[in-house]
């Protein structure tokens, strides 16, 4: 019996199984992100009725990029708002990215826009277990009629710290001393401050001291002639 070579048939299914395995690995990455998004605190509260689920919701209203409870999913579907199941539907990366807050999705942004003018304490919010028609009317008012819609408030940029005020410095008057040296000035208080040689070592003269010197100078200048003989006899 001649030996028959068995060739691999491309239709055997081995290659498709390998490709399916690679697809599953790439699919796991964004599905992991999807489950992380649905468990965020803001997404654990239904985007339409505010019912809270501790483990996160398994349904998404794709049209408005929000996570919703089962009752709200049915109400959205009644008005052709496309919805998908997280566990029973296939998701691609773009659909998952659209649910991210930085891409404009998620329940927090929906609450800040769709329900911007509906107070949290309002009695208009539907309660869990209410009649389906009541929930549908609420969905129509909120999403079709945009009854409470408002633009999201812009995020304020952090203000730079204010510069500290410089320490207060007492004001002084700096004036050059232009008076020529004479024996009489050495007896004026503070003694010798008007001596040009000594004044050079004094960088600043206060305004009060300057006024005091001016008054004394006027007084002694008037009586200089009569005092000159007396001052000559004084020791140097």
Q: What domains can be seen in the chain, in order of their start residue?
A: 27-144 (1.10.220.150)
Q: What is the pLDDT of residue 151?
A: 84
Bridge partners (DSSP) of residue 93 are: none
Q: Which residue has the tokens 């790439």?
A: 26
- pTM of the entire predicted model: 0.56
Q: What is the pLDDT of residue 223?
A: 59
Strand ranges across the sheet with 59-61: 66-68, 59-61, 83-85
Show the low-confidence residues of the chain (pLDDT under 50). Answer: 1-8, 10-12, 14-15, 19-20, 22-25, 154-160, 162-163, 173-182, 184-185, 187-188, 191-194, 199, 203, 205
Q: What is the pLDDT of residue 173?
A: 47
Q: Are 130 and 90 in contact (CB under 8 A)?
A: no
Q: What is the pLDDT of residue 28?
A: 81
pLDDT tens per residue, range 154-205: 444 344 454 456 666 555 544 444 444 445 445 445 544 445 555 455 545 4
């Amino acid at each position: 019996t001649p030996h028959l070579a068995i060739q691999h048939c491309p239709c055997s299914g081995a290659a498709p199984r390998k490709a399916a395995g690679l697809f599953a690995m790439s699919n796991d990455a964004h599905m992991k992100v999807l489950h992380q998004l649905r468990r965020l605190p803001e997404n654990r509260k239904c985007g339409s009725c505010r019912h809270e689920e501790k483990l996160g919701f398994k349904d998404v209203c794709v049209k408005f990029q929000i996570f919703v409870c089962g009752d709200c999913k049915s109400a959205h579907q009644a008005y052709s708002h496309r919805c998908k199941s997280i566990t029973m539907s296939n998701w691609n990366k773009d659909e998952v990215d659209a649910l991210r807050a930085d891409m404009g999705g998620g329940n927090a942004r929906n609450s800040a826009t769709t329900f911007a003018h509906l107070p949290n304490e309002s009695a208009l919010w539907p309660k869990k277990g209410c009649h389906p028609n009541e929930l549908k009317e609420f969905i129509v008012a909120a999403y079709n009629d945009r009854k409470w819609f408002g633009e999201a408030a812009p995020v304020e940029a952090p203000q730079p710290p204010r510069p500290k005020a410089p320490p207060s410095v007492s004001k002084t008057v700096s004036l050059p001393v232009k008076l020529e040296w004479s024996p009489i000035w050495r007896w004026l208080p503070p003694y010798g401050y008007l001596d040009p040689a000594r004044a050079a070592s004094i960088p600043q003269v206060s305004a009060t001291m300057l006024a005091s010197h001016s008054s004394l100078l006027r007084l002694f200048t008037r009586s200089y002639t009569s005092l000159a003989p007396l001052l000559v006899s004084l020791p140097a």
